[in-house]
Amino acid sequence: MVNYIFDGTFDGLMTVIYVSYYNHQVPNDILSENSYQKNFLGDDIYISTDINKSNKVQNAIKNKISKEALKNIYYVYLSELESSYMLIYKYVRLGFKIGRKINYFLQNDIVNDVIKLSQRINHEAYKMIELIRFKEIKNGLFYAKIHPDYNVLPLIVPHFAERFQDQYFVIHDVKRNLSAVYDKKSWIITDISPENTLITKEEEDFENLWKIYHKNISIEERKNLRLQRQHMPKKYWDILIEKQ
Amino acid sequence: MELYDKIRILADAAKYDVSCSSSGSNRENKNGGIGNASFYGICHSWSDDGRCISLLKILFTNICIYNCSYCVNRCSNDIERALFTPDELADLTINFYRRNYIEGLFLSSAVYKSPDYTMELLIKTVKKLREDYNFNGYIHLKAIPGADINLIRLAGLYADRMSVNIELPSEKSLKLLAPQKTKESIIKPMSFIHNQLLEKSDSKKLMRYSDKFVPAGQTTQLIIGATPESDRTILKLSENLYKLYSLKRVYYSAYIPVSNGNNISGVTSPPLLREHRLYQADWLLRYYNFTADELLNEKNPNFNISLDPKVDWALKNLSLFPVEVNTADYNTLLRVPGIGVRTAKRIISARKASSLSYDSLKKLGVVLKRAKYFITCNGKYYGGCEIETNKIKNKLLPKSNVLEGQLSIFDSFYKTENNLPIIV
Ligand code: SF4
């Protein structure tokens, strides 16, 4: 009964899979060090992250299973659910057995859970791409705040970096205190975020123009707030200008 | 006049145009400019009526020389009027875009001074966006009926999509309600855009580079319920538009009584449910290989309001059912109520791994509440009643509590139905 402990990074998780494979040792559980409390019953082994091993596992997944499978695994990892690590482990094992066809096995609970969870992450990333609102906080610097349920920041930055090539921006995940910073060339994710996010008078004008637009484009005779909430869940309203 | 007022008035005037999609274009961001288009389209907000806001949908002006009876902006209507400048509108678009409020611009207009003059104003605005701001986001332009073909061609080089609204489903109704527009002034730009697209796709094969002309194609809009045409007439018209002019979408807009226009009286509330049924049927034409004649005929020219068109069709063609989910081909699966494009594909792929049980269908996203009457699973039928039209219909008809929730919609439908023979 062995538990593997790792540093919580994706490479760390891939290293765990590598080690367990070569040790022929099926883990009882896989835990990240942040949430780990020492368990007196089983053996706990700390695995330190090794980029080489991680790359080997990722390549093996890509070649022996599929790119699609690797994408699913990464998405499930971003769910940050403690149970996701073992789910990923089981999915990879199954994948090495079945190979390319794994995603046809929708009736299998492991496959089904992975695909459903991966879709949930994907869905939230898409919601963020829709609902993010930037504010100009300094001449030419745009700032947006988010607090997604899952850690979708790495999934959404490429979209904005491609779209706003001529614009400096920061997307700040306030829940995890992570910021994606783009400088018109490339982007990074760091834990440093801008201190001053107060907005100017001009910015306020644009927000008001948007509110007026939003109100007037709606047809009174067709009012349907329930449908609106289905697409724009209440939990995101605080980042939406038009809902403030 | 303040920008605030212009936006208030001209957004309000644009709201009856239902087209909102930002899909169908792959425009890339070039040379470090701003914006790109997503092929699948992105919505950024939803208005209080639950409709998606993807583009800054707005009129350039609502000052109109025409007097179409169904339209709020008709010249005889006493309302506030406003007019943008190309600079104002381009600037507004860019600023909304940078804040991720919108995917781009949908610019339409009333007929100001003349069709050509109006078209030129629209072109000026989008030219500024594309050339001065290096904007590569989505642009949908309305072709103003009656505008010179050369202007339409020019506009098409800047736009991702163009639309010419037919508005009324028959020439007779058009004559009656929009006497200044002719069938020709609508069909001519439509067929021009279509031919231009065909030409471009030919020349693309010859040359490596050719100018992009409305890469997302063209769409149109029909108003539902202001005139007496049946669902069948409308659906046949759409079918032909898809066939003859390769339209990307036909939008249906339940007529909202906007004031006491001549020739339209007695329409009290918009026939929303009828509009909904037409959208469902339109979907069946575009993605499920149905034809209009399969769905409606001369004896039944209108949709059953209490059943969706696919269920209705299946009940009328029970001899084709039940189908075996483990062996039926893709097109057959698609015709089963409760199975959509996505689930049909998932069924086909899951079948490759192992045979499907009744329980596993739920996992794949099949809506069994409907589907169970039309399928077998390894030879077994799960409907729990005889495969007989009335028996299944009884189980599928909405229960009274469902009906209550939608009563306002049904209500308005009946009212409009009764009021239909207003124009003869
Ligand atoms: S041309 Fe007719 S439909 Fe268009 S804005 Fe003028 S009155 Fe309205």
How many CA atoms, within 13 angstroms, populate the side-chain half-sphere of residue B102?
26
Q: Which of A13, A174, A19 is nearest to A82 (CA)?
A: A13
Contacts of residue B182, Cβ cutoff 8 Å, sequence gap at least 6: B174
Q: Three-class SS of residue A145?
A: strand
d(CA A95, CA B358): 26
Residue B265 is predicted with a pLDDT of 53
Residue B412 is predicted with a pLDDT of 37
- Partners of B364 on chain A (C-beta within 8 Å) are 106
Q: How confident is the model at residue A12 (pLDDT cuts 50, 70, 90)?
A: very high
Residues 250-269 of B with CB under 8 A from A: 254, 256, 269
Q: Which of A50, A45, A60 is nearest to A12 (CA)?
A: A50
Q: How confident is the model at residue B314 (pLDDT cuts 50, 70, 90)?
A: very high
d(CA A1, CA A13): 18
Q: Do B44 and A131 touch (CB under 8 A)?
A: yes
Mean pLDDT within B275-295: 94
pLDDT at A128 over 60: yes
Q: How confident is the model at residue A222 (pLDDT cuts 50, 70, 90)?
A: confident
Q: How confident is the model at residue B424 (pLDDT cuts 50, 70, 90)?
A: very low
d(CA A135, CA A167): 12
Does residue A239 sit at the B interface (CB-CB below 8 Å)? no
The answer to whether the beta carbons of residues B156 and B193 sit under 8 Å apart is: yes
Q: How confident is the model at residue B104 (pLDDT cuts 50, 70, 90)?
A: very high
The ipTM value here is: 0.94
d(CA B122, CA B384): 60
Helices (H), B207-304: 231-245, 272-287, 292-295
With a Cβ cut-off of 6 Å, ligand 1 is lined by: B 64, 66-68, 71, 73-74, 110-111, 178
Residue B396 is predicted with a pLDDT of 85
Residue A93 is predicted with a pLDDT of 95
The answer to whether the beta carbons of residues B169 and B222 sit under 8 Å apart is: yes
Residue B419 is predicted with a pLDDT of 30
- The model's pLDDT over B351-360, given as tens digits with 9 standing for 90+, comes to 998 899 998 8
Mean pLDDT within B301-327: 93
- Partners of B52 on chain A (C-beta within 8 Å) are 231
Ligand 1 atom 2, closest CA: B68
Ligand 1 atom 4, closest CA: B110
What does the mean pLDDT of chain A come to? 93
Q: Which has the minimum average pLDDT: B17-26, B108-117, B217-226, B370-379?
A: B17-26
Q: Three-class SS of residue B369?
A: helix
CA angle, residues B71, B123, B116, in degrees to nearest 5: 60
CA angle, residues A90, A94, A98, in degrees to nearest 5: 170
What does the mean pLDDT of chain B come to? 87
Ligand 1 atom 1, closest CA: B66
Q: Which of B195, B192, B242 is nearest to B222 (CA)?
A: B242
The answer to whether the beta carbons of residues B105 and B126 sit under 8 Å apart is: yes
pLDDT at B410 over 80: no
**Does A45 or B269 have the greater pLDDT score?**
A45
Residue B207 is predicted with a pLDDT of 52
**Closest partner residue to B12 among A160, A216, A231, by Cβ?**
A216
- Partners of A103 on chain B (C-beta within 8 Å) are 349
- Partners of B9 on chain A (C-beta within 8 Å) are 216
Does residue A135 sit at the B interface (CB-CB below 8 Å)? yes
The alpha-carbon gap from A126 to the nearest alpha carbon of chain B, in Å, equals 9
Contacts of residue B194, Cβ cutoff 8 Å, sequence gap at least 6: B218, B244, B245, B246
Over the range B114-152, which residues count as b (16 or more CB within 10 Å of their CB) and which as e? ebeebbbbbbbbbbbbbeebbbbbbbbbbbbbbbeeebb
The residue to mutate among B12, B74, B175, B256, having the most atoms of ligand 1 within 8 angstroms of its beta carbon, is B74
d(CA B122, CA B89): 10
**Closest partner residue to B15 among A105, A142, A217, by Cβ?**
A217
The pTM score is: 0.90
pLDDT at B421 over 70: no
Q: Within 10 A of B260 (CB to CB), how many other CB atoms are there? A: 9
Residue with tokens 């390894």: B378
Q: Which has the minimum average pLDDT: A71-75, B49-53, B131-135, B198-202?
A: B198-202
Residue B26 is predicted with a pLDDT of 87
pLDDT at B408 over 50: no
Copy the structure tokens of residue B303: 């949709």
Percentage of chain A exceeding pLDDT 70: 98
Q: Three-class SS of residue B89?
A: helix
- The model's pLDDT over B42-83, given as tens digits with 9 standing for 90+, comes to 999 999 989 999 999 999 999 999 999 889 999 999 999 999
Residue B8 is predicted with a pLDDT of 96
- The model's pLDDT over B173-189, given as tens digits with 9 standing for 90+, comes to 988 889 899 888 999 99
Q: Three-class SS of residue A164?
A: coil
Q: Three-class SS of residue B57?
A: strand
- The model's pLDDT over B317-339, given as tens digits with 9 standing for 90+, comes to 999 999 999 999 999 999 999 99
Give the position, in ligand 1's atom list, of the atom nearest the Cα of B64: 6
* Cα(A48) to centroid(ligand 1), Å: 70
- The model's pLDDT over A161-203, given as tens digits with 9 standing for 90+, comes to 999 999 999 999 999 999 999 999 999 999 988 888 888 889 9
Ramachandran category for residue B146: left, alpha or beta (phi over 0 → left; psi -120 to 50 → alpha): left
d(CA B240, CA A16): 60
Q: Within 10 A of A167 (CB to CB), how many other CB atoms are there? A: 17
Helix (H) or strand (E) holding A22: helix A10-22
Q: Which of A19, A125, A16, A28 is nearest to A79 (CA)?
A: A125
Q: Do A210 and B96 touch (CB under 8 A)?
A: yes
- Partners of B354 on chain A (C-beta within 8 Å) are 105, 107
d(CA A35, CA A33): 6
Residue with tokens 């050369």: B150
Backbone φ, ψ for residue A173 (5° rounding): -85, 100
Residue with tokens 């939406």: A240
Ligand 1 atom 5, closest CA: B110
Q: How confident is the model at residue B415 (pLDDT cuts 50, 70, 90)?
A: very low
d(CA A39, CA A62): 34
Residue B211 is predicted with a pLDDT of 64
